[in-house]
Amino acid sequence: MKKYALMFWLALLTATAAAAFGQAVSVGGGGAPEIVKIEAAVRNSTVAPGDETALWVRARVEPGHHIQSDRPTESYIVPTELTVEAPAGIVVSGIEYPPAEMKEFAFAKGKKWSVFPESPVFSAAVRASEDAEQGEVTLKVRLDYQACSDEQCLPPESVETTVKLTVGDRTSAPVQPARPRPPTRTEAAAALTDRPAGHGSLRVVCPTGCS
């Protein structure tokens, strides 16, 4: 039960983070090395003193490469590490790493390595202290990693980005995942027309707002 609860939480986190990354507000771009780029976003663009928000960091790994997990299988492998530097009055805690995958690569046949998936999402809690000064602050995000291809491992690298957060009177509403629009009548009719023969009848119910 705990395993499925964790899987559900991670899926929800990824979906909500993806929505946040799609927003123009409170998103930092990555001026990263070629292999890995990162972007960061906060759940709430404004947080009141004493309140907490979430920070999400997504790494985009160049196709054909992977990065080691935070718990590599060999002592000589450099683990991936996320660090967040915050100004006075802002406390960052509870950094969470995504689940790793065990994979085998051409340079080490018969051996599996603990690596992160293609676009791993990291998270952390960000809290404004009761005496935090109001105004915009900058969080500096750094990801240390070692990237490998199927043929070889590269020297350790690091990539940095920033994300803005405002300390204000009230905590703003969280970013909400985008909702898919309902199908139009034309699209619903097309779905009926394209349905293969011999599959029985299909009843299409057009939801409220369907044009």
Q: Which domains does the chain have, with CATH numbers?
A: 2-167 (2.60.40.1250), 180-211 (no CATH)
Torsion of CA 56, 20, 13, 118, to 10 degrees: -70
Q: How far, rounded to the nearest angstrom, does the alpha carbon of residue 182 sit from its chain's CA centroid?
A: 27
Q: What is the pTM of this model?
A: 0.69
User: What 3-state class would DSSP assign to 18?
Assistant: helix
Q: Which residues pair with 137 in a beta bridge?
A: 165
- In order along its 211 residues, the chain shows pLDDT tens digits of 444 344 434 444 444 454 455 432 333 344 334 799 999 999 999 999 999 999 999 999 999 899 999 999 888 889 999 999 999 999 999 999 999 999 887 777 778 889 998 889 999 999 999 999 999 999 999 999 999 888 888 899 999 999 999 999 999 999 765 455 555 666 555 655 544 444 444 444 454 555 5
Intra-chain end-to-end CA distance of the chain, in Å: 42
Q: What is the DSSP letter of 28?
A: E
